[in-house]
Amino acid sequence: MLDRGKLAVLTMFAVALVAAAFAWWWNYSRGQRCLEFYGQDAALLIRTAEQVELLELAAADAGSSEPATTLQLGDKAYSIVRVTDISQAKGLIHARTSIVDDSSFRWDGHPTDCQPRVLYAVRFTNHSRATLAFDFGCQCVWHLEQGKSATLIPKVAQGWESFLTRQAPRPAEPN
């Protein structure tokens, strides 16, 4: 026969086991759409890459088609104006987490009445590469290697815009 103390310990153990199983399931299920969108390797790279670079972009000149200095987003090309290492930037861990969480996206489609405003891309690199370009006018993120885009929820788009703007070096003031 079990006494009250042993029963309490077994009950706590059972509750902890159920809570752990629920937490595992919750964390597993909240990233499945992102995993589909990025692919397993790119999602892991976004989460863990040691090298993270901020690419500042500008509309590409018609004559500039050098692949190393341009990025193609749909039917538009963008020149890479500046590259900044942000691997150690404050807030990067939270930014990475937000971009691989299903709840950060509107999976029901893209806005049709928006003005594209692509200013930045972020390149995650280890032994491979994943590049995300951010369109803050349409609140979209482009996964360049896959040629796919998805719509961010406004709070995440604003958070990424604020984070990337803080990381971009300021131009030197004229004397």
Q: Where are the domains of the chain?
A: 1-30, 33-167
Query: In this structure, how many other beta carbons lie within 10 angstroms of the beta carbon of residue 76?
Result: 12
Helix axis angle for 92-99 and 40-48, nearest 10°, is 160
Report in angstroms the alpha-carbon separations of 42 from 36, 37, 166, 172: 10, 9, 25, 35
Query: In this structure, how many other beta carbons lie within 10 angstroms of the beta carbon of residue 71?
Result: 20
Contact in structure between 136 and 151 (CB atoms under 8 Å) = no
Compute the distance between CA of residue 34 and CA of residue 41 in angstroms, rounded to an integer: 12
Q: Tell me, what's the pLDDT at 115? A: 83
Between 94 and 2, residue with greater pLDDT: 94
pLDDT of 48-106, one tens digit each? 999 999 999 998 765 555 556 888 887 888 999 999 999 999 999 999 999 999 999 99
CATH of domain 33-167: 3.30.1490
The overall pTM is greater than 0.85: no
Q: With cut-offs at 50, 70 and 90, classify the pLDDT of residue 171.
A: low
Q: Tell me, what's the pLDDT at 109? A: 73
Q: Tell me, what's the pLDDT at 76? A: 86
